[in-house]
Amino acid sequence: MNSPWDPDRYTFRDARMRPALELLTRVPVSRADRVVDLGCGIGDVTRLLAQRWPDASVVGVDSSSTMLERAAGTPSRIEWIRADVGSWAPARPVDVLYSNAALHWVADHDGLLPKLVESLAEGGALAVQMPLSHDLPSHQVVRDVLASFGEPIPQRPVSTAEHYDALFAANEWDADVWETEYRHRLTGDDAVLEWLSGTTLRPILAALDDARRPAFLAALCERLAAAYPRRVDGTTIYPFRRLFFVVRR
């Protein structure tokens, strides 16, 4: 199957960029030779990594050729690699392994994260941000509508902060784990559906039968509009919790 990711549907850039930037400020590595952005998408954040570490070789890894083509459309010194983060491994130890809003698409964090930390150079850091969106009303609505269509229900992709804290402590790694709840102020019609259409719904819509998609989207639209009413100023507030961690080697 072709990747369901679509650069043109990955909207609300400012709101999505904010956690990426906040994570970047917490990376405690001043000098780096090798920097990798896991699940780099269209490369906006990877280019910021290249600015922050101007002497480093910088690699963006993503499984979507469509996203990588868009990334490579802006000339830079960054190397773009198509690979699945679940099976990718660097040829040499890396100083900064960074991943914004991507590892929740990759299974088995208890297996993946130790592998990533072990691929760090001495003094290096793994910096990760993932949405804690499974329990949001929007994602419950998606599951309800999927169930009413007899479609498979996605599993919880991200564990709790306590779980990751315990995993890092068990390995005696120095880790900072925190959560932030944003109140994204979205503009436009059906704003939460539009937001979800860029991310959570990509694989779901790709797997749905063409004939069922319009009815599925209509049901979703109605339920999301009720869960997230538009305010008198025309905007929609979308409370959204995110998990961050920075692990040092």
Pairing of strands 34-38, 120-131: unpaired
Judged by CB under 6 A, the number of residues near ligand SAM is 21
Part of the chain binding ligand SAM (CB under 6 A), chosen from 83-91, 167-175, 213-221, 224-232: 83-91
105 binds ligand SAM (CB under 6 A): yes
d(CA 147, CA 143): 6
200 is a site residue for ligand SAM (CB under 6 A): no
Interaction between residue 62 and ligand SAM (CB under 6 A)? yes
List, as one string, the DSSP characters of 8-58: GG---HHHHHHHHHHHHHT---S--SEEEEET-TTSHHHHHHHHHSTTSEE
- Give the span between the Cα atoms of 45 and 91, in whole angstroms: 22
Return the residue of 67, 121, 243, 246 that touches ligand SAM, per CB under 6 A: 67
Should residue 197 be labelled a site residue for ligand SAM when binding is judged by CB under 6 A?
A: no
| β-pair type (79-82, 57-62) | parallel
Does residue 194 touch ligand SAM according to CB under 6 A? Answer: no
Does position 133 bind ligand SAM by CB under 6 A?
A: no
Beta bridge pairs of residue 180 = 242
- Residue whose beta carbon is closest to ligand SAM: 41
What is the binding site for ligand SAM (CB under 6 A)? 3, 5, 20, 39-41, 44-45, 62-64, 67, 84-86, 100-102, 105-106, 199
